[in-house]
Chains A and B, each alone.
Chain A
Amino acid sequence: ETGVTQSPTHLIKTRGQQVTLRCSSQSGHNTVSWYQQALGQGPQFIFQYYREEENGRGNFPPRFSGLQFPNYSSELNVNALELDDSALYLCASSPGEASYEQYFGPGTRLTVT
């Protein structure tokens, strides 16, 4: 059974640029959630996709957007990057709509300079 994978592992961008992060869900999982984790903080929920539809959104501005594809893989897009966007971005998949058991990927470390 393949776990959750994310790419790239590290990324350095300049303020104002755009970035796309990718996630492949664990086999059999139809729900994917994205989180932002700043250093020393717990993960903050960005949004969740269930069967290709956005199913919930945290307190993040519209420049954070996402997609889920028919194979349940997912993308997180961030436009107009700001310095405060520097963080570990985590993707988690689960077998259903609720977050009862989420399986996290290793994360993408984004640095904005």
Chain B
Amino acid sequence: EDQVTQSPEALRLQEGESSSLNCSYTVSGLRGLFWYRQDPGKGPEFLFTLYSAGEEKEKERLKATLTKKESFLHITAPKPEDSATYLCAVEVAGGSYIPTFGRGTSLIVHP
């Protein structure tokens, strides 16, 4: 069964304290891996899509990387406005376009 596991479940950082969130996956073949940000009471906001191992994408203080077994979302010098839940999802190659989401990492950045 395809699985997506995110860690840690929750993370508290001080403003400016860089860290990484992890998304590990076990799928038969990866079509794509997606990162989303979700603020409380709102729908997820698309951040990145990664397709193959070695790929990296950046947006402001966020950088997503992909290996054959996991993806990392690196947050450099975070600010309080980066506080949110970060969700990872994967789509399996060769099947229907059905993404499987992890449970998310809740990030709180203290000023």
Residues of A participating in the B interface, judged by any CB pair closer than 8 Å:
4, 35, 40-45, 48, 55-58, 90, 92, 97-107
Contacts and interface: CB of A to CB of B under 8 A. Distances in A.
B43 A90 contact: yes
Interface-centre pick from A4, A42, A90 (highest chain B CB count, 10 A): A42
A60 B43 CA distance: 21
Interface residues of B, number: 24
A4 B42 CA distance: 12
Q: What is the interface of chain A mostly: helix, strand, loop, or mixed?
A: loop
Interface of B: 4, 31-32, 34, 36, 41-46, 49, 87, 89, 91, 96-104
Interface-centre pick from B34, B87, B98 (highest chain A CB count, 10 A): B98
B44 A104 contact: yes
